[in-house]
Amino acid sequence: MNSSKTNLLGLNLEELEDFLQDLGDKRFHGRQLFSWIYRKGARGFEEMTDLSRGLRDRLKKTATIEGIVEHRLMRSKLDGTEKFLWKLSDREMIESVLIPDEGRLTLCLSTQVGCPLGCQFCATANVGFRRNLTSGEIVSQLLKAQDRPLTNLVFMGMGEPLLNYDNLLKSIGIMVSDLGPNFGAKKITVSTVGIVPGIHRLAEEGLKLGLAISLNAPDDELRSEIMPVNGKYPLNELLSAANFYAEKTGRRITFEYVLIGGLNDSLECAKKLSRIIQGIPCKINLIRFNPHTSQAYQAPEEEKVTAFRDYLYPRAPAVTLRESKGRDILAACGQLRAAEDDYTA
């Protein structure tokens, strides 16, 4: 990236207007610039034909539009899932996943290079934490897929979104703008391991985003064993925050529960889980653990999966068993690690 020029990708409308004003131009041209970058996908100023020649020349001298670069792409032979390996300007790598389903096409976005939270069942934890993504790097994942008929966005890729809060919210603001991608907020879900202050803060934004909480255990002892974050934000605080979010936004919470063989898939765990979510407007999304070479855990037996699901419903408001997509290309839940040797197939 040319450090002597300002990268406009990731700037919101107000920042683009400020930039143009500093160039000695009219602020209202910022709306045109915003639309060219985020709605029309322009990557060069010559394309922006409704801007004057003089302004385009000034922009070429002072600014650039530089996003992430596609490094590798894998397609699942099982279900058509696509996993992208992106190279960033500092040569770090991230992944995002395009997930087809009946009548839906969901883009799963990353928010950090690696992750600092150390969840024991997640391959991204083995990467460690490298850095937060910029707003431009987050938005760029969407812009690269904007030619597809996307129906949903989920922040469930690499990293913890609520630990990169400012860049997350700035990116979402760009994504939902009617001058840009114009993506409906109700079609966007933010997933968190349970960063309680971030949940409260997100509830106050007025965006009515979907919220998915990675729960994975029905008591503090087991949850702390597999998710160290529980030591800082135990279940009583997390569930209280979840209830606050549902009340504030009118959106029901999705509790993600990864079933790990012999660890959290017992009928006793199902009974505890049904008790702790009582009174919270929610649905429970059950996910079979997806094994990875760096993990010692096992997938659950199908009989236990069925028994767990059947006990929960109708004791929980809604229960779904999510079929993991992209397992053959290590693109399923918990498998992302941005490793180039995963792309040999």
Task: Say if strands 152-155 and 104-108 run parallel, antiparallel, or are unpaired.
Answer: parallel
- Mean pLDDT, the chain, as a whole number? 94
Please give the pLDDT value at position 293. 58
pLDDT for residue 249:
97
pLDDT score, position 341: 72
Chain centroid to CA 45: 30
Structure tokens that stand for 248 in this block? 């504030």
Instruction: Reply yes or no on whether the pLDDT at 344 is more than 80.
Output: no
DSSP 44: S
For the CA atoms of 181, 186, 187, 193, what is the dihedral angle to 10 degrees?
Answer: 110
Q: State the Cα–Cα distance between residues 337 and 159, nearest whole angstrom.
A: 10
**Separation between Cα atoms, residue 40 and residue 288, nearest integer Å:** 39
Look up the CATH number of domain 69-343: 3.20.20.70
Interval 180-239: pLDDT, tens: 999 999 999 999 999 999 999 999 999 999 999 999 999 999 999 999 999 999 999 999
Domain boundaries, the chain: 7-64, 69-343
pLDDT digits (tens, 9 = 90+) for 52-70: 999 999 999 999 999 999 9
Burial class (CB in 10 A: 0-12, 13-18, 19+), 242: buried
Under DSSP, the state recorded for 45 is G
Phi and psi (nearest 5°) for 143?
A: -60, -35
Q: What percent of the chain has pLDDT over 70?
A: 96
Report, as residue numbers or ranges, the catalytic residues. 95, 333
User: CB–CB of 297/339 below 8 Å?
Assistant: no
Choosing among 1.20.210.10, 1.10.150.530, 3.40.1190.20, 3.30.420.40, the CATH entry for 7-64 is 1.10.150.530
Other residues' Cβ atoms within 10 Å of the Cβ of residue 236: 10
109, amino acid identity = L
- pTM of this prediction exceeds 0.85: yes
